[in-house]
Amino acid sequence: MALHEAGTPTVRSQDDLLHLQETIRRESEFLPALVAELRKHIVGQQAMIERLLIGLLCGGHVLLEGVPGVAKTLTIRTLADAINLSFHRLQFTPDLLPADIIGTLIYNQKDGNFTPKKGPIFANLILADEINRAPAKVQSALLESMQERQVTIGEATYPLPSPFMVMATQNPIEQEGTYPLPEAQVDRFMLKVLIHYPSREEERRILDLMTEGEPPRVEPVVQPETLLRARRAVEAIYVDEKIKNYIVSLVMATRDPEAAGVPISAYLQFGASPRATIFLARAARAHAFLCRRGHVIPDDVKMIGPDVLRHRLIVSYEAEAEGRTTDDLIRTLFDHVEVP
Of 65, 68, 75, give the one whose Cα is nearest residue 327: 65
Tens digit of pLDDT for each residue in 96-155? 888 888 888 888 877 878 888 888 999 999 898 888 887 878 877 887 788 888 888 878
**Please, which pLDDT band fits residue 254 given cuts at 50, 70 and 90?**
very high
Q: Provide CB contacts within 8 A for 151, sequence distance 6+.
A: 102, 103, 118, 119, 121, 122, 145, 157, 158, 160
Ranking 103-112, 281-290, 314-323 by mean pLDDT, the lowest is: 103-112
Report pLDDT for 298. Answer: 94
Tell me 238's DSSP state. Answer: B
Report pLDDT for 131. Answer: 83
> Does 5 score more than 50 pLDDT?
no
> Does 178 score more than 70 pLDDT?
no
- The one-letter code for the residue type at 252 is M
State mean pLDDT over 62-79: 82
130 Cα distance to chain centroid: 16
Number of alpha carbons in the 13 Å side-chain half-sphere of residue 334 = 16
> Does 277 score more than 90 pLDDT?
yes
Spell out the domain ranges in the chain: 2-26+224-336, 31-93+124-150+160-211
At residue 329, φ and ψ (nearest 5 deg) are -70, -35
User: What is the CATH architecture of 2-26+224-336?
Assistant: Orthogonal Bundle (1.10)
Query: What is the C-alpha to C-alpha distance for residues 283 and 241, in angstroms, rounded to an integer?
Result: 16
Q: Which residues pair with 2 in a beta bridge?
A: 10
Fold for 31-93+124-150+160-211, please state it: Rossmann fold (3.40.50)
Mean pLDDT of the chain: 85
Q: What percent of the chain has pLDDT over 90?
A: 29
State mean pLDDT over 30-40: 88
- Predicted TM-score of the model (pTM): 0.85
> Does 6 score more than 50 pLDDT?
no
State mean pLDDT over 78-93: 88
Tens digit of pLDDT for each residue in 198-253? 888 888 888 887 777 677 788 888 888 898 899 999 999 999 999 999 999 999 99
State mean pLDDT over 299-309: 94
The alpha-carbon radius of gyration of the chain (Å, integer) is 21
Tell me 131's DSSP state. Answer: G
Report pLDDT for 283. Answer: 95
Cβ pair 257, 268 in contact under 8 A: yes
Report pLDDT for 9. Answer: 47
Please indicate whether residue 309 or residue 117 has the higher confidence score (pLDDT). 309
E strands within the chain?
A: 2-3, 9-10, 62-66, 87-91, 103-108, 113-118, 125-129, 150-153, 156-159, 165-170, 191-195, 268-270, 314-315
Query: What is the C-alpha to C-alpha distance for residues 74 and 210, in angstroms, rounded to an integer?
Result: 12
Query: What is the C-alpha to C-alpha distance for residues 32 and 25, in angstroms, rounded to an integer?
Result: 12
